């Protein structure tokens, strides 16, 4: 029963890593520089590796590995931390630049006009 609990934790960690990767894909590259964060290219490399490691960790218990041993390995923990740093630090900083196109907006410095 405890193995199922730890396997669910691995799946939740993978979902979080995939969420971070998908969110990073939707942010324009210049938003990272405008928010004084690392480049989009670097974050994409980090998050792709994190998602691959997370997927492998979530699938390993199906191959007979102990979910407890997989969960407390260094790579799944590092992948989770990378996604958590993106979601907690980078995502809020670049959120204001997300979805901005070249079109005109009716927003002024104090709200809509």
The answer to whether position 51 is within a domain reads yes
Nearest CA among 25, 18, 19, 32 for reference residue 96? 32
* Stated length of the chain: 113
Has residue 72 been placed in a domain?
yes
Q: Let me know if residue 104 belongs to a domain.
A: no
Pairing of β 107-108 and β 111-112? antiparallel
The answer as to whether 105 is a domain residue is no
Total-model pTM? 0.81
Ranking 46-50, 61-65, 82-86 by mean pLDDT, the lowest is 61-65
Q: pLDDT digits over 3-21, tens only?
A: 889 899 999 999 999 999 9
Q: 108: which strand partners?
A: 111
């Amino acid at each position: 029963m405890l193995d199922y609990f730890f396997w669910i934790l691995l799946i939740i960690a993978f979902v979080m890593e995939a969420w971070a990767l998908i969110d990073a894909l939707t942010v324009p590259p210049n938003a990272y520089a405008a928010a004084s964060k690392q480049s989009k290219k670097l974050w994409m490399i980090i998050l792709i590796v994190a998602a691959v490691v997370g997927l492998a960790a979530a699938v390993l218990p199906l191959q007979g590995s102990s979910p407890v041993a997989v969960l407390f390995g260094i790579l799944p923990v590092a992948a989770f931390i990378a996604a958590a740093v993106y979601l907690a630090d980078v995502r809020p900083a670049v959120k204001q630049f997300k979805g901005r196109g070249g079109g005109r907006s009716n927003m002024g410095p104090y709200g809509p006009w």
